[in-house]
Structure 1
């Protein structure tokens, strides 16, 4: 029926607020907080998750 209702905007707002929780973890790993925003793009999110999973953390000792 065309157009976005208040429920659509409230769900989008809730998802954005929930993603704010992940910013400190991403910043602790040494990446920009904008990675959280980019992770919401479908294919880009998978690539970023893969890069984040195998990245060296600053607190991790070198082998």
Structure 2
């Protein structure tokens, strides 16, 4: 039958893919003016969808700060 043991580099590969997902979102949240640590939540199912819509539809703190400087 099939061997069910995990490939020896499986955990390392999973960490690499998690980093490839988390890192860009950390940078996006930081540029938007939010805490970069919100990027860690992008690996949590359903929370990632909620955060993605929140990021897309909300007014970013960075934009609010630029508006107040221009007044």
Provide TM-score, normalisation by structure 2.
0.64
Structure 1 segments (4+ residues) deviating >6 Å: none
5 Å-filtered alignment, 1:30-41, equals 30-41=33-44
Computing the radius of gyration over CA atoms, which structure comes out larger, 1 or 2? 2
Structure 2, gaps ≥5 residues long: none
Give 5+ residue unaligned stretches, structure 1.
none
- Structure 1 residue 52 and structure 2 residue 37: aligned? no
Q: Which has the higher helix share?
A: 2
Report 1:15-30 matches (<5 A). 15-18=17-20, 19-30=22-33
